[in-house]
């Protein structure tokens, strides 16, 4: 059993109604003091002569009215020793007297000092850990490889660096490499099983993206407070050959990204896995990251002609050609489109590629921004009471509006191609359209 004597008070005095000491219980630290000499004497006589009036008043209050109190005094002992004490008093009844419990302030002060030192040591350890964590995070994000910590029990990403998040969508909490086909999944499972047995395993090559890009994967086992983790390092294969989208110096993905028609890859549940810029323009979203992970039915939801029907037709017939429907954008734009689609496997596809082409029959809301831009003009009367700088700005904006409107008309509303023609980024063109539409 642990020794609890340090938690006991140094003195416990029992006094009668007149403040005369009747009994004394002492701690081991005062064992050598002849405190029996206090019995039968008034408590006030045992204290340092310069006791303040406030403490005396509190003693009288507890003696006469039974009020509990707490105060500090310098207690004088028979040996001549004086000790700073803190007393807590409470009444036993007006006729029975009261009890005073005293603790040494020196012991309390020592405890406070020890607590202060412990707190300072804890803060030093905290900042050391923060410094180590900062260095680790800097190295973690600075590496050109994709690095992820993956839970052994559930194969979910615990932590991933910027390269892994950007290129492989390995965000914390997400399943690790969820897009693998059955063959690559078996290869991964065998490699991880060997890693669990031996602590590490030889690297393997997997098709880790919907476009089939090859990545090398190495894994090792490590322990953490939350449990065992895989440390996974992934790097794109430099020489992938024509089977992995490259041949004779060109990249298939580059062509897909720059296509004027929209292209999107979804899984069996219709969740977007990849999309090109034309698709992002069609659904009015600024970045691919904002589209990935969302269901295609958010935009392709016409009754009887939605994304689920397209997927079902591909599963049944192997492909779909020129399927007529409409796409609804985030900002209210609705576009008539025709869709051609195919799966990654003829019999049991896991992913579906949809080529979406504007059929040229947009609803009224499509042309509203370009009409608002094209109709803008500068009247001579507008120049009155304006500075030359203001006049130049107005004229420049009018010319810019007309140029944007004509580019959109020329390329049938395809913002990606129109932006490239105007020498703008797609985001810049989108911002200008929003600006002029508000005006």
Burial degree of 403 (CB within 10 A; 0-12, 13-18, 19+): middle
Contact residues for 58 (Cβ-Cβ < 8 A; gap 6+): 67, 69, 71, 89
Q: Same domain, yes or no, for 67 and 159?
A: no
CB 33 within 8 A of CB 54: no
Tokens 């322990």, located at residue: 223
Is 284 part of a structural domain of the chain?
yes
Let me know if residue 121 belongs to a domain: no
> Does residue 145 sit within a domain?
yes
Which two three-digit tokens encode residue 140?
Answer: 């973690």
Q: What is the pLDDT of residue 49?
A: 59
**Tell me, what's the pLDDT at 72?**
80
pLDDT of 172 higher than 60: yes
Task: Please check whether residues 146 and 238 belong to one and the same domain.
Answer: yes
Asked whether residue 385 is domain-assigned, the answer is yes
Work out whether strand 262-267 and strand 272-275 pair parallel, antiparallel, or are unpaired.
antiparallel
326, 341, 362 - which closes a domain: 362
Assigned domain for 430 exists: yes
Share of the chain above pLDDT 90, in %: 5
**Rounded to an integer, what distance in angstroms lies between the CA atom of residue 24 and that of residue 43?**
11
pLDDT digits (tens, 9 = 90+) for 355-392: 999 886 444 444 444 454 555 454 445 555 667 677 66
Distance in angstroms (rounded) separating the CA atoms of residues 438 and 428: 16
Do 238 and 176 share a structural domain? Answer: yes
Quote the pLDDT of residue 142: 60
pLDDT of residue 1: 40
Q: Are residues 353 and 379 in the same domain?
A: no
Percent share of the chain, pLDDT over 70? 79
> Which of 33, 35, 27, 25 has the alpha carbon at shortest distance from 8?
27
Which H or E element spans position 52? none
Residue 170 confidence (pLDDT) above 70: yes
Please check whether residues 288 and 234 belong to one and the same domain: no
> What residues does 234 pair with on adjacent strands?
146, 217
* Cα torsion angle, 276, 293, 352, 356, sign: negative
Cα angle, residue 403 at apex, residues 398 and 409 outer, rounded to 5°? 125
Identify the CATH number of the domain in which residue 399 sits: 1.10.10
Does 349 or 286 have the greater pLDDT score?
Answer: 349
Model pTM score = 0.36
130 within some domain: no
Average pLDDT estimate for 99-103: 87
319 part of a folded domain:
yes
Q: Are strands 246-247 and 227-236 parallel, antiparallel or unpaired?
A: unpaired
Domain carrying residue 399: 365-438
Joined together, the tokens standing for residue 423 give 């020498």
DSSP state of 301: -
Of 214, 242, 270, which residue sits at a domain end?
242
Element (H, E) at 366: helix 364-374
More confident residue, 323 or 431: 323
* Residues 238 and 268 placed together within one structural domain of the fold: no
| In a shared domain, residues 264 and 283 | yes
Cβ-Cβ contacts under 8 Å for 421 (sequence gap 6 or more): 407, 410, 411
Bigger pLDDT: 264 vs 375: 264
Answer yes or no: is pLDDT of 35 > 50.
yes
Q: Are 206 and 184 in contact (CB under 8 A)?
A: yes
- Provide the token pair at 380: 């001579």
- pLDDT (tens digit per residue) in 192-247: 999 988 888 888 888 877 666 788 888 888 887 778 889 888 888 755 444 444 44
CATH of the domain at 55: 3.30.450.20
Residue with more model confidence, 133 or 44: 44
Q: What is the pLDDT of residue 4?
A: 43
**DSSP assignment of 201-225, as one string?**
EEEEEEE-STT--EEEEEEEEEEET
Report the number of distinct structural domains present in the chain.
4
Considering the domain architecture, whether residues 38 and 51 belong to the same structural domain is answered as yes
Q: Is the pLDDT assigned to residue 322 strictly greater than 60? A: yes
Which residues are registered as beta bridge partners of 352? 266, 343
Q: Report the distance separating Cα 334 and Cα 66, nearest Å.
A: 84
Beta bridge partners of 247: 250
pLDDT at 248 over 50: no
63 occurs within a structural domain: yes
Out of 362, 388, 414, a domain closes at 362
Please tell me the predicted confidence (pLDDT) of residue 338.
92
Distance CA 136, CA 357 (A): 47
In 237-392, DSSP assigns E strands to: 246-247, 250-251, 262-267, 272-275, 319-328, 334-343, 351-358
Same-domain status, 357 and 395: no
For 389-434, give the DSSP string: HHHHHHHHHHHHHHHHHHHHHHTTT-HHHHHHHHT--HHHHHHHHH
């Amino acid at each position: 059993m642990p020794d609890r004597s340090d938690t006991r008070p140094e003195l416990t005095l029992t006094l009668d109604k007149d403040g005369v000491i009747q009994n004394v219980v002492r701690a081991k630290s005062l064992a050598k003091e002849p405190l029996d000499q206090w019995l039968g004497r008034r408590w006030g006589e045992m204290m340092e002569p310069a006791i303040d009036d406030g403490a005396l008043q509190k003693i009288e209050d507890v003696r006469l009215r039974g009020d509990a109190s707490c105060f500090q005094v310098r207690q004088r002992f028979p040996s001549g020793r004086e000790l700073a004490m803190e007393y807590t008093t409470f009444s036993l009844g007006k006729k029975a007297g009261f009890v005073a419990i005293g603790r040494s302030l020196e012991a309390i002060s020592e405890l406070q000092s020890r607590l202060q030192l412990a707190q300072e040591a804890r803060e030093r350890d905290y900042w050391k850990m923060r410094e180590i964590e900062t260095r680790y995070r800097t190295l973690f994000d600075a590496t050109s490889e994709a690095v992820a910590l993956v839970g052994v029990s559930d194969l979910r990403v615990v932590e991933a660096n910027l390269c892994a998040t950007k290129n492989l969508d390995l965000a914390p909490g997400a399943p690790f490499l969820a897009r693998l086909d059955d063959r690559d999944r078996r290869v991964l499972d065998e490699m991880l099983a060997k890693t669990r047995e031996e602590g590490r395993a030889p690297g393997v090559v997997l098709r880790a993206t919907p476009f089939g890009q090859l990545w090398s994967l190495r894994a090792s086992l490590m322990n953490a407070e939350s449990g065992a983790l895989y440390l996974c390092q992934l790097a794109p294969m430099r020489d992938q050959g024509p089977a992995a989208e490259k041949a004779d110096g060109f990249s298939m993905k580059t062509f897909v990204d720059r296509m004027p028609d929209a292209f999107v890859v979804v899984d069996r549940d219709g969740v977007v896995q990849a999309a090109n810029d034309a698709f992002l323009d069609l659904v009015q979203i600024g970045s691919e990251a904002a589209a990935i992970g969302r269901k295609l039915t958010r935009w392709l939801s016409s009754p009887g002609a939605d994304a689920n029907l397209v997927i079902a037709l591909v599963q049944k017939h192997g492909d779909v050609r020129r399927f007529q429907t409409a796409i609804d954008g985030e900002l209210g734009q609705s576009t008539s489109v025709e869709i051609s689609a195919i799966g990654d496997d003829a019999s049991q596809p896991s992913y579906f590629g949809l080529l979406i082409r504007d059929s040229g029959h947009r609803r009224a809301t499509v042309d509203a921004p370009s009409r608002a831009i094209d109709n803008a003009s500068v009247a001579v009367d507008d120049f009155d009471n304006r500075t030359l700088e203001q006049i130049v700005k107005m004229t420049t904006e009018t010319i810019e509006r007309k140029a944007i409107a004509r580019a959109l008309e020329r390329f049938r509303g395809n913002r990606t191609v129109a932006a490239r023609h105007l020498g703008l980024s797609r985001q810049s063109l989108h911002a200008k359209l929003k600006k002029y539409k508000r005006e």
